[in-house]
Structure 1
Amino acid sequence: MIFTDDTAEAMRAAVHLANSAQDPDTLVTRADFDAFLAEFPYTGRIDRDADELAVVRALRPRLRRMLLAPRDDMVDEINDAFRDIVFDAHVVRHDGADWHLHAVADDRPLAERILAETAMALLDVVRADEGSRLGVCADDDCEGVVLDLSRNRSRRYCSVACTNRNAVAAYRARQR
């Protein structure tokens, strides 16, 4: 295991959010937001209203910047995030997950909790010197963020769609 489960899950959620801003935007409606929350079930206060959706949408460029920053710049991004968080650290166990740290209170806004979890996860990335696990999709027409948690560091594409498109193109090139 490269990272703890909560670190990996926080990075998956941040990558998903950052990539949702790619064309076409996949976090537009409340139904899109509900689908995100179903896939990444955050604990604590969730308002599920238009204001909360707007604040989470506005967080996406910052998450992308944090995820793709070189190591020393990533530390600066983490520190900037920590300055914007109202800390109320506590250790919890819930929903089948073993003991882990929540950096902010459950009643804080969802976007702040997402930012806190992302910053904490990226701190683990920096400490393990595993920044190479984050990058930009190898598809020439895509700018999505790739999170590679594979053992052999073989993930190159941000999604199955990009993987399939490139596999088909490679197959067709070989057939010619």
Structure 2
Amino acid sequence: MLFAHDTEVALRGMVALVNTAATLPTDTDDLVTTADLDGFVREWRWTGSRTHDEAELDAVRALRPRLRELWTTDTDGAVQVVNTLLAEAHALPQLVRHDEWSWHLHATPPEAPLATRMAVEAAMAMVDVIRADELGRLGVCAADDCEDVVVDLSKNRSKRYCDSGCGNRTNVAAYRARKASTA
């Protein structure tokens, strides 16, 4: 295990949240309605209070480009983003245990707005990434037609593609191109 379990879950959740945004003209936004956000929260098992309204949706949507910046900046830039997110939320890390989770860190109270809790959890995960000098594990999908972000939690640092099938599609295209050139 490279990072603590809660850090890995937070990183995967961050990737999922950032990748809900449309980055290319051919992409669709996956967080358009409050029902979309409800589904995302359910899938990623977010706890704490919710308002289930447009303001909450807008706040979460506005968080996505700020988190995406962590994939496209250097260490100093990532530190600045992380520190800003933590300062804006007045984060106060505390050990907590709930549901099936053992002891882990929360830095916001459960009644904090959803977008604030998401921002702080992302920032806390990035603290671990930056301190371990592992920012190189964050990247953008290697497929020519994809801009989704990727977190590589593999031991051999081999993840190059997002989880949307880009790796398979790229490999099939390369295979077909090789076959066509030999025919």
TM over 0.5: yes
Give the 3-state SS of the residue equivalent to 1:94 in structure 2.
coil
The residue that corresponds to 1:120 in the other structure is: 124
What are the Cα deviations for residues 102-142 of structure 1, in whole angstroms up to 9, with x where unaligned? 10111110100111001110010001111111011101111
Residue of structure 2 equivalent to 1:131: 135
Shift of 1:159: 1.9
Contact 1:19 1:145 in 2 (8 A): yes
Any stretches of 5+ residues in structure 1 without a counterpart?
A: none
Matches within 5 A, 1:62-81: 62-81=66-85
CA deviations 1:40-71 (Å, max 9, x no partner) are 11111122222211110111100101233211
Partner of 1:148: 152
Does 2:161 correspond to 1:173? no
Q: Is the 8 A contact 1:90 1:101 kept in 2?
A: yes
Aligned residues: 176
Is the aligned partner of 1:103 residue 2:107? yes
SS of the aligned residue for 2:48 comes to: coil
Structure 1 residue aligned with 2:12: 12
| 1:58 counterpart residue number | 62
Instruction: Give ranges in structure 2 of 5+ residues lacking alignment.
Output: none
Tell me the distance in 2 between the aligned counterparts of 1:101 and 1:24: 33
Instruction: Mark the structure with the bigger radius of gyration.
Output: 2
Report the residue type matching 2:2 in the other structure: I
**2-structure distance, mates of 1:98, 1:174:** 50
User: Partner letter of residue 7 of structure 2?
Assistant: T
- TM superposition score normalised by structure 2: 0.91
Aligned-residue RMSD, C-alpha: 1.3
